[in-house]
Amino acid sequence: MPVFLIVDDEIHIRNMIKKAIDELEYQSDSVANGEEALHALFEKKYDGVFTDLKMPGMDGFDLLDAMNEEVMNIPTVVVSAYTEAENIIKCFRKGIMDFITKPFTPEEIKKVAKDMLKKRIDIKETTQYVKGLIKQNALGEAEKYLSILFGTYSSSPLPHYLMGMKCMKEGSEVKALKHLKASIALDESYEPAKKMIEEILTNQEKTEAKSNKEERENGEEE
Q: What is the pTM of this model?
A: 0.57
- CA 143, distance to chain mean position in Å, is 17
Name the H helices within 24-138.
34-43, 60-69, 85-93, 106-119, 123-135
Neighbours of 200 (CB within 10 A): 17
Return per-residue pLDDT of the chain as tens, 222 residues: 789 999 999 999 999 999 999 999 899 999 999 999 999 999 998 989 999 999 999 999 999 999 988 878 789 999 999 999 999 999 999 999 999 999 999 999 999 998 888 776 667 778 888 999 999 999 998 988 888 788 777 788 999 999 999 999 999 999 999 999 999 999 988 999 999 999 999 988 888 877 777 777 676 665
CA pair distance 53, 129, nearest whole angstrom:
35
Last residue within a domain, chosen from 76, 92, 119: 119
Position 156 scores a pLDDT of 85
Contacts 24+ apart (CB under 8 A), 35-39: 36/7, 37/5, 37/7, 37/63, 38/63, 38/66, 38/67
Please, what sign has the CA dihedral across residues 37, 58, 191, 179? positive
In this structure, the answer to whether residues 23 and 83 fall within a common structural domain is yes
CA pair distance 27, 19, nearest whole angstrom:
10
Position 60 scores a pLDDT of 96
* Residue 30 structural domain: 3-119
Last residue within a domain, chosen from 68, 84, 119: 119
How many domains in the chain? 2
Residue in 43, 17, 42 with CA at minimum distance from that of residue 30 = 17
